[in-house]
Every structure is written in structure tokens, then in C-alpha cells.
Amino acid sequence: MSAVAGAPAPTVVAGRPGIAARLASLLRQVLASRLGLVGALIVLAVVLAAWLAPVISPYDPVAVDLELKLQPPSLAHLMGTDQAGRDILSRALWGARVSLLVGVIAVAIGLVGGIVLGTLAGFYAGTLLEQAIMRTVDALFSIPLLVWAIAVVGIVGVGPITLGPLSIPNEGKVILLVGFLYVPAIARVTYSVVLAESRADYVRARRVQGANDLEIMATEILRNCLSPLIVQATLFIAIGIIVEASLSFVGLGVQPPKPSWGSMLADARGYVFSGEWWLPVFPGLFISFTVIGFNLLGDALRDVLDPRKREAGLVV
Amino acid sequence: MLRFILRRMVFSVGVLLVVSAVIFLLTHLVPGSPAIIVLGADASSEQVREFERRYGLDRPLAVQYLAWLRDIVLHGDFGRSYISGQPISGEVARTFPVTLEIVILAFLFCVSVSLPLGIVSALYQGRLVDHVARIFAVIGVSVPGFWLGLMLIVYGAVHLRLFPPGGFIPWSAGLGPHLQSVVLPALALGVYYTAIISRMTRSSMIEVAAQDYIRTARAMGLSRRRVLQYALKNALIPVVSVSAMSVGYMFGWAIIIEQVFNIAGLSRALLSAIFQRDYYTVQAVVLVITTVFITANVAADVVYRLLDPKIRGVAA
């Protein structure tokens, strides 16, 4: 290392800064806004809680102890215990794992599906392929995908799916269906950007240089979709967490005894009338704060990335 | 305009046809014959054959589908539930008005709160009202409706005793008790869309206020009132369309909300059918909700075109 210590730092010759530099500058601008900072801190806290759940949870989240059931919050159990004597704080910390898992992977699936469809349709505008893709997207927009997700999980059943040695729990289906929920919206955003950019001079210039369609799509055009998609992805994580919790609440999401916020609230339903307020209150606060965090972060990102500050359309 | 409506309707009917085929295939290809669900796993093969003959399940799938579709289109008949033996149309006719009423109430709440809130927020941008409205909007899109419902029960029904803790009290029991039983569910259902629509109204107002024609109107010395009238007329175009769409989306979320409040509406009919593996009822309810959703979407599109002269003349 010492040999190059005296060498001048490599400078970026091209006019465009690299992705890493752009992300760093983006992060700086987001953290500069007060609400963006709050959102980022909440998201960071939830990510840490999910990651460190095995270390920081005071108790085993699934250990049943009927002698300790329905204890109000105390120093030993900061958020009390549930009907099976399980520590609510520990269950809520572990519940963050499933929520984030579903939220993030579902968005990843939605991004892959939506970007592929949107890019193809936008790039091959005027062809049958564009018509086929965009009419399908229109059709998907015109049906209630949440109801369909509920019906599909209900009909297929909530049991795990076994693929050889692998056993995929019901969350797998939930992730897939929530991801599907995002595809039409992401496809539309990508489509509109690609449609505008694929006629731009720099794309023509790249073609003259001998770049093929795939290269141009992968390098030049997707770069322009990055800004709106980062905003959407963040806001969609928030929606995914709410959808997962709602599905788990009605018994079609994460299956007990695995801790999740939605199923904790399903358990709490029976204690709403009898005064054990800590059962319904704390898991809901976890959901709400997490979702507020992602929403604030998404709004701050939009303020930086989208000068027109468009509101995201409805997806659920 | 007529041509647009016609094309939109043909497209919608097409979507409905595809959707009905998909849900039919889904419920009929899922492993496990209804005969086994009803008669039990130890039913003799003769009993199973007899059951399948009675419900027409021994015919080819395509014939079953066409017969099912014919009965729905010609007679509004969704067939019989093999669990209860009752006609499904009766169940739909009984539960649909309940859900519709809650959705309409939620919609009225939503529009009457979000429009003034969004407008005031835009007029006093950066002032206290605006900050309060924006904080409400972030919380509103983040708090899951079903948890809000639980909290409303804990506070409004159990603590204050102002509302019944759940259940649907019919009109016949008196207007007061009836309204009391639907206020909390409508609130829990409507808050998310109230937040979304107030945000949309705000950003749309701000965008319109920056347009040249508003500046011209001001420069001409028109009264503040007149200028506001012009701005509103244009700013509300996208808002009206999203509001119409939200009606469709609320039918989906009603599934979860009705579960919280123990209301026997259409959506809860779907959930109980799912858990009883009453697949014929599932496919009927999904089809009904999808039809409502598509109708709301078409209405949103038509209203949008009627209001916006810029795109009125453009073909679809």
C-alpha cells in the first residue's frame, strides 16, 4: 500500500459520477432534511432490531410459560406477556425479521418483474410486444390484487411447500404475491422513463458506436429509471409490511408459533375487551413506527430525486 | 367520448372473462375434490362419484366453466355452496349491501376530510396547519387499518362505551344503533385513503398554483376567490379520479376490517369460505369484488376524461 500512498487519487474522467458517489451524495441530501433523518434513523433501528434479535431479545420468543401469562408491563417484561406467557418485546423484536424479509424481498421481486416488462415495452414501442405487455399491465391494474392474493393463499393453503429437501413456509407465498402486487406499478414507471429516453440522442449515439439493444437497455436507459424506482421501492417496502401484517392478522400470512406482528395482533383480538391493552398496543406500535420510518425516508428521497414531487399512485 | 367508454367497457369485459377463467381453474385444479372435503377422507368411491355427479363435477372442466359462466351471466346464479347447500347468490345478496354501506361511509368520510385538509394545507403552505396536516397524512398512510380498528375498539367501545364493540346492527334496530355500529369500521377503513387523497390534493393544488394561467389570472386583478375557483377546478381533476379508484381498493381492505369488527359482510364471507374450503363461494365473492373494482376504475377513467379537456378529444 505504501507504494501508492504518494500517488494522486484516481479521478473520474467521465462527466458522470459513479453510482457509489451518487448514492453517497443522495444519502447526504436525505439526511440533511429533518424528516428524512428521522425516517432513516427509524429504519436503521428496525434493521438493527431484526438483525440482532437473537442477541438483544430478553427471552425466547416462543417459550410458553402459562404461569406467566397475561402479565402487564413490568421491569422483567417491559411490554408484558401474552396469553401463553411469552415475552411480547422479544416476540416483537423477532417479528421485525419476518416483516423486513417480506417487505424487502417482495420489492426486489416486483422490481425485477416490473423493470424487465417496462423496459421491454418502452424500448420496443410501437411493436406487438409493447401492446401485449402494456395491456397486461392495464389489466392487472384493473383488478384488486390484494383480494386475489388473499384468495390465492386461501385456495392453495397456508401449509409449507416442500421442494425436495427444502421446505418453504407460507411466507414464501406471501412474498411472491406481494411482489406481484408491485409489478404493474413498477412496469408503468419504468415504461414511461424508457419510452422518453430510448429516443434520446445519446442512445442513438451508443447504437452508432455498435452497442446492441441489451447493452443499451442495461447501461444507458436503466440508469435513468434509478431515481423514480428508488423512491417507489422505499414506499413499497412500507406497503408490503402492512400487507404482510394484515394477511398474518387474518391467519393467511406467517403461521404461529413463529412470531410476527400481524399474528401477535390476531392473538390479541381476544383480549381487547378484557383490559389487557398491552397485547394489542405494542405490536401495532412496532408496525406503525416501522412503516412511518420507510414512508418518511421515501418522501425525503422523492424530495431529492423527483423535482416534480409526484405522489405515488395507489397500489392497494 | 362515447367511443372511449365503449372501448374501456369491452376491455373490462375481456379482463373479467380472463379473470373468471383464472379463478375457476384455480379452485378446480387445487388438489382435493370437494367430495372429500364434504364427505371426509374415508368416503367410499361410490359416494364420491354420486357427489360429483350431483354437483356436475364429473363433466369436462371446460363444460363446467361454460355452464358456470352461463348461469352467472343469464341468471345471476353462482351455484350452490357444497358446504352449506345454500345458493351462493343468496349469501352474496345478503352480505354485499353491508360491505357497500361501510365502504360508502368510509368514502364520504374520506372525501369530506381530505379535500378541505389538502386545500387548506396548500393555501397555507409551510404554516402550522400545513405541518399538522402533513403529519396526519404520514401517520395515516402508515398505521395499518386493522390495528387502528383494534385501537378504536379498545378506546371508543371498551373505554368510552360510545360504540358497540363489534357486529353489524341492521337498520331495523333503529338508525342510531345502526350508525353507531358502522362508524368505527368506516373510520378504520377510510383513514388510509383520507391521508393519500389529502396529500394528492395538496401537491396537485401547489402544482396548479405555479402554472402560468393562475399567474395571469392574478395579474389581471381577479379576486382571490375567483383565482382559487380556477385553481381548484384544475387541481381536483386527478384527485377525483383517485377518489373513485379508492372505492374499489376499499372493498379489498374491507376483508380485513370486517374481520376486526366481526361484521358479516361480503368480505368476511370470503374469509370464512376460505377457511371452510368452500371454494365455490370463494370464486363467486372474488368475482363480485373484482367486478366492483373494475367498475370503479372505469368510472374513474371516464370522470377523468370528462373533466380534463386536454385529453377529452384524444382516442384511448
Contact A154 B275 (CB under 8 A): yes
Q: Which amino acid is at A103?
A: G
Cα A265 to chain centroid distance, Å, stands at: 21
Interface of B with A in 174-203 (CB under 8 A): 196, 199-200, 203
Please give the helix or strand (H or E) that residue B213 lies within, else none: helix B212-219
Closest CA to A120 of A214, A238, A250: A214
- Which of B147, B158, B282 is opposite residue A265, by nearest beta carbon? B147
- Which of B143, B199, B256 is opposite residue A250, by nearest beta carbon? B256
Question: Quick count: other Cβ atoms within 10 Å of Cβ B314?
Answer: 9
Contact B199 A309 (CB under 8 A): no
- Which of B18, B30, B248 is opposite residue A144, by nearest beta carbon? B248
Percent of chain A at pLDDT exceeding 70 = 93
Residue A10 pLDDT > 60: no
**Residue A45 pLDDT:** 97
Please give the backbone phi and psi of residue A87, each rounded to the nearest 5 degrees, phi first: -75, 120
Cα B190 to chain centroid distance, Å, stands at: 11
Contact A142 B297 (CB under 8 A): yes
For the record, the C-alpha cell of A203 comes out as: 442512445
Q: How far apart are CA B188 and CA B179, in angstroms?
A: 15
Residue A131 pLDDT > 70: yes
Chain A contact present for B136, CB below 8 A: no
**Residue A287 pLDDT:** 97
For the record, the C-alpha cell of B60 comes out as: 369436462
Residue A6 pLDDT > 50: no
Residues linked to residue A168 through DSSP beta bridges, in sequence order: A161
Measured between beta carbons, which residues in chain B are less than 8 angstroms from residue A34?
A: none
Tell me which of B12, B197, B274 to substitute to probe the interface with A (most A C-beta atoms closer than 10 Å).
Answer: B274
Chain A contact present for B37, CB below 8 A: no
Please give the helix or strand (H or E) that residue A189 lies within, else none: helix A170-197
Please give the backbone phi and psi of residue B82, each rounded to the nearest 5 degrees, phi first: -80, -5
Closest residue of chain A to B257, computed from CA coordinates: A246
Least confident of A3-17, A182-196, B89-103, B184-198: A3-17
- Which of A283, A295, A314 is opposite residue B138, by nearest beta carbon? A295
Q: Residues A10-26: what's their mean pLDDT?
A: 68
Chain A contact present for B239, CB below 8 A: no
CA distance B190 to chain A (A): 13
**Residue B159 pLDDT:** 84
Measured between beta carbons, which residues in chain A are less than 8 angstroms from residue B199?
A: 311
Closest residue of chain B to A146, computed from CA coordinates: B252
CA distance A262 to chain B (A): 9
8 A C-beta contact, residue B184 and residue B149: yes
The fold of the A31-56+77-311 domain, in CATH, is MetI-like fold (1.10.3720)
CA distance A64 to chain B (A): 25
Chain A contact present for B155, CB below 8 A: no
Contact A154 B139 (CB under 8 A): no
Q: Which amino acid is at A212?
A: N
Measured between beta carbons, which residues in chain A are less than 8 angstroms from residue B27?
A: 155
3-state DSSP: chain B helix, strand, coil percent, rounded to 5? Answer: 80, 0, 20
The residue ranges of every structural domain in chain A are: 31-56+77-311
Chain A contact present for B207, CB below 8 A: yes
Counting one residue from chain A and one from chain B, the pairs whose CB atoms sit within 8 A come to: 146
**Residue B312 pLDDT:** 55
Tell me which of A131, A135, A162, A242 to substitute to probe the interface with B (most B C-beta atoms closer than 10 Å).
Answer: A242
Least confident of A120-129, A253-262, A300-309, B65-74: A300-309
Q: How far apart are CA A25 and CA A97, in angstroms?
A: 29
Closest CA to A180 of A252, A253, A236: A236
Contact B27 A269 (CB under 8 A): no
Contact B255 A150 (CB under 8 A): yes
Question: Quick count: other Cβ atoms within 10 Å of Cβ A202?
Answer: 11
Q: How far apart are CA A201 and CA A207, in angstroms?
A: 10
CA distance A151 to chain B (A): 7
Cα A85 to chain centroid distance, Å, stands at: 32
Q: How far apart are CA B301 and CA B245, in angstroms?
A: 9
Radius of gyration of chain A (CA): 23
> Which residues lie below 8 Å from residue B131, measured CB to CB, with a gap of 6+?
none
pLDDT in tens, B62-112: 999 999 999 999 988 998 888 888 899 999 999 999 999 999 999 999 999
Interface of B with A in 296-315 (CB under 8 A): 297
CA distance B194 to chain A (A): 12
Contact A268 B150 (CB under 8 A): yes
Please compute, for residue A197, the number of CA atoms within 13 A of its CA located in the half-sphere on the CB side. 25
8 A C-beta contact, residue B154 and residue A280: yes
8 A C-beta contact, residue A168 and residue A254: no
3-state DSSP: chain A helix, strand, coil percent, rounded to 5? Answer: 70, 5, 30
- Which of A139, A146, A147 is opposite residue B15, by nearest beta carbon? A139
Contact B150 A245 (CB under 8 A): no
Ranges of chain B with pLDDT below 50: 315-316
**Residue A150 pLDDT:** 92
pLDDT in tens, B100-134: 999 999 999 999 999 999 999 999 999 999 999 99
